[in-house]
Structure 1
Amino acid sequence: MSTYKTLFRQLHNELSIICAKSGKHQAEQTLKKQTALWQYKKLNLIKLGMSIKEVEEKLLQSKMDSKIIVPAHPEADTHALLGRTPEQEATEYRDLQHIANITTFLQSQRVYQELLERYNPGMNMEQSDKVRKTAHRVGLELPELK
C-alpha cells in the first residue's frame, strides 16, 4: 500500500508544480493584456480629445494590482487509498507502473523545459527585449517608450 501512496503523492506533487507554473504564466499574460487594453483605450480617448482620467486610474490600478496570484491547487484525496489490500496492489502492478511512468514523464518534461530556458535565455524573450539587449551589447541604449 505504501508504494501506491508514494506514487500517488509523487504524481500529485508534479501536477501541483506544473499547475503553479502554468497559473503564474497565465496570470502574467492576463495582466499584460489588461494593461495593453487600457493603454489602447487611453490612446483612443486622447485621439478623440476626451478626458482620460478614468482610463488613467484603471491603468494605475492594474499596475498597482500587478501581484501575480497563483491559483491554489486541490489537496490530494488519500481516502480512496486507505481501503486497499496488498492483494489489490499486486493485481494492479500494471497500473502502478503506468502511474510511475506518467510521474517520470511529467518530471522529465518539467526539468527539460527548465534546462531549455536556462541554456537558451532568449528563447522566451520578447522581440523588444531582444532588440534592447542586442543594442546594449554593442554599446547603444534605446529610448524608453511610454
Structure 2
Amino acid sequence: MSSRKLFSELVASVQHSMNAAHRYHVKELQSKQKALVAYQKMNSLKLGKTWSAEEEAMAMDKVGKQMGLHIKPSTDTTAITHLDKEDSLYSEIERHHVTTASLFLASQTEYCELLERYNPGISMKQTDKVRKTARRVGLEVPE
C-alpha cells in the first residue's frame, strides 16, 4: 500500500474518532442546555413573567452559542503530518506503525459504539442509576 494511502487512512480514522467524540459531547451539552433553559424559565415564572415558545427558542439559541454547540469539529493533523512522506522514505517498520495506528483508532471507535449499543446502562449517570434501582424496588426518587 502506498504511503499516501496509509496517511489518508490514518487521517480518516482520526476524523471518524473526532466526529464520534464530538457527537457524544454535543449530546451532553444539549442536555445541559435544556436544563439551564428550564431553570431560567422556572425563575422567570417565579417572578411572574410569562414565557412564549419564541422566547424559549431564543433562550435555547443564546445558551447554545455560549456553550459552543454551533462549532463544528475540525481535525488537527499537525501531530501526524510528519508521516506524510514519499514511499521510498518509509521503512517497513514505519509502514507497520502507521497501519497499526489507523487500525487501532478505527477499532477503538467501533468498540465504544458497540459497547454503548449492547450495554446501554454503562454510560448512565449516577442519578439515572439511582432512579432505575429505586424503580426496581418500587420507590420513587423525588425531583
Q: 50, 53, 71: which one pairs with 2:51?
A: 53
Aligned counterpart, 1:21: 20
Extract unaligned runs of 5+ from structure 1: none
Contact 2:17-2:109 at 8 Å conserved across structures: yes
Summarize deviations over 1:71-117 as a string: whole Å, max 9, x none: 254598x9x95x72x4323xx33322221221122122112212211
Number of aligned pairs? Answer: 128
Comparing both chains, which one has the higher relative contact order based on Cα–Cα distances under 8 Å and sequence gaps of 6 or more? 2
Contact 2:22-2:73 at 8 Å conserved across structures: no
1:46, CA displacement in angstroms?
Answer: 2.6
Extract unaligned runs of 5+ from structure 2: none
Within-5 A mapping of 1:80-99? 81=84, 84=86, 86-89=87-90, 92-99=91-98
Q: CA RMSD for the aligned pairs?
A: 3.9
Aligned equivalents of 1:87, 1:128: Cα separation in 2:
55
Aligned equivalents of 1:51, 1:104: Cα separation in 2:
56
Contact 1:117-1:123 at 8 Å conserved across structures: yes
TM-score under structure 1 length normalisation: 0.62
Tell me whether 1:41 sits opposite 2:27 in the alignment.
no
Aligned equivalents of 1:58, 1:98: Cα separation in 2:
54
TM-score under structure 2 length normalisation: 0.63
Distance verdict in 2 for CA 1:102–1:28, change over 3 Å: same
Distance verdict in 2 for CA 1:131–1:25, change over 3 Å: same
Higher Cα Rg: structure 1 or 2?
A: 1
